[in-house]
A and B are shown apart, each in its own frame.
Chain A
Amino acid sequence: MSERLSLRPICAGLFAALLCPAAVAFEAENGVPLAITAEIGPLAIERLAVRLHGRDVTIRTELLNDSGERQVAAFYASTPLFGQLGIAEEYADKSFRDLRVTIDGARAALQSYPKAYFRGRDITSLVRKAGVDPLPHPDSDQRKLRRLGSVDGAQPSDWRGSVTYAWKATLAKGARSVHEVRFRALPRFALEMVDSDRLTRQVAQFCGDPARVRRLLAQADPQASAVMVERYDIPVDYLAMREATVDVTQPDKNWLGARPVATLACGLGDPAGGATITGTIDGPDQVLSVLVISMLEQPEAPATGEQHGR
């Protein structure tokens, strides 16, 4: 990490997203889906609701134990394997440390299982021994990293990591239980040209009508040449073939500093509706995918043509 940058840790840490709502780095980054998996055995899911407000995801699951005996439900939230794209990456932290789970309103204890891999080997214990978090982060201590030594002939400064969080609940015979999972999503985002085939393809993939969406964009800003496109993928393995209510709302100005004007999800709402969609899905998919298209912010002050000092 550069000395210049280390002097400016303005938005580092867990609260970065809360304090810096319009932060963005690269113009496009891949999303990092957090996959929710459950072992519920004979327990019944009475209600399932998924809410996406801005980037904040809430998955509410109501369980019923009608099995006639005590049951244990276990849940997992897993990241994919991830690395680092560089110092300016927006998603510097892909570990979902903000994940919160409540069971019947009480905070659930989460077990965390981070893993590190390099050149096909599990190097979790090696990385830990050096005093480094197994999950890659651009702010990992460079001095400690150099202590890692060699793995398969190379220093593992560029490793991959993943983490699984787990929690469980015990339901007595006949008991009901409400699980609520909350986290901030890391969607894929990219600037796209309004008249591009890429935008047309993406709108169609989300069951939207490209012509209607373009009309909506033109109404919002006839001069706009580019829009911000976010893709949210929310994998929930017990979503498939279950009736689930879905509620997607977007703020007037989102975390990218853009203005959401169209939200699309197959099976939900008007394919060229506004930024809010609600409805019920009961399809075979284990992933809820949502596309949000936003107008870019306009500069508030006129161009000065003057150079600003660094």
Chain B
Amino acid sequence: MAEAVTLEKSATSETSNTQGKGCVLGKFISEEDGWKIVAAAKTWVGTPYKSWGGNSKKGIGGDCSGTTNKSYIEAGFSYPYQTTSNFANFARATNRFRQIDPDKVPMQAGDVLLWPGHMAIYVPFPEGHPDRNTGVIRKGKPVANDMYTAFNERRDVPYGPYNIATFRPDKYKVYRYLVVPGAAECP
């Protein structure tokens, strides 16, 4: 398990709410835990795109927020289903997820990537991983995949590995799950 963090310590974003920042809040999930989330996400690979939100069903249909939520739950890191529109508000209000500034804290497997209207699970696929290279081409050159994502129905591409910059080059935010031990540690 990773070391305990306070809100102050976990405040890697200027927009983070650091009220009560002196109290021990919890622990970011470890990289090992992050790979558990990735392993759960992998079991959704091939699921067709359906805009079903929290009703997403493995192998039958799911969207970005639904597949992310279910992957986290299956890996043992629960949170109530949130749409992408509400995810940042939920994170701020509950501190269940904390925003990570990748310039200050390295991204790790299992982090949530959040765009306006889309979310995905970050995966730094290692060399030799079967999902690292699936023939994605960017600017004429092959590129490695670095996330699991719900794609879309228009393109007839199901949930699976893909390259972030090719999928959507605009800026995204990164969120990491915080294991909250309980309110007792927060006076």
Contacts and interface: CB of A to CB of B under 8 A. Distances in A.
B128 interface: no
Contacts of B61: 299
A304 B47 CA distance: 11
A220 interface: no
A309 B152 CA distance: 17
Q: A interface, by DSSP: helix, strand, loop or mixed?
A: loop
Given A86-B170, A193-B82, A26 B154 contact: no
Interface string A1-42: 111110010110000100010111111110000000000000
Interface string B112-154: 0001111100000000000000111101100000000101111
Contacts of B119: 27
B155 A8 contact: yes
B167 A88 contact: yes
Interface string A168-199: 00000000000000000000001111001110
A45 B36 CA distance: 65
Q: B interface, by DSSP: helix, strand, loop or mixed?
A: loop
Given A86-B169, A226-B54, A226-B83, A28 B117 contact: yes
A308 B81 contact: no
Given A86-B170, A87-B167, A308 B158 contact: yes
Given A191-B85, A310-B45, A304 B152 contact: no
Contacts of A307: 43-46, 58-59
Contacts of B92: none
Given A24-B51, A307-B59, A2 B83 contact: no
A222 B14 CA distance: 38
Interface string A74-110: 0000000000011111101000000000000000000
A220 to B, nearest CB: 14
A28 B118 CA distance: 7
B86 A88 contact: no
Given A191-B51, A225-B53, A257-B51, A8 B156 contact: yes
B59 A308 contact: yes
Contact of A85 (B151, B157, B170): B170
Interface string B154-187: 1111101000001111100000000000000000
Given A26-B117, A256-B51, A190 B59 contact: no
B60 A304 contact: yes
A286 B167 CA distance: 36
Contacts of A89: 168
**6 nearest interchain CB pairs?**
A28-B117, A86-B168, A25-B152, A308-B46, A191-B83, A23-B154
17 contacts: A4-B157, A5-B155, A8-B155, A10-B155, A24-B152, A25-B153, A26-B117, A27-B83, A28-B83, A88-B157, A191-B53, A192-B85, A198-B85, A225-B81, A226-B83, A297-B52, A308-B158
Given A24-B51, A256-B51, A257-B50, 14 more contacts: A3-B136, A25-B153, A26-B115, A26-B117, A27-B85, A27-B117, A87-B166, A196-B89, A225-B80, A226-B81, A296-B52, A299-B52, A303-B57, A307-B59
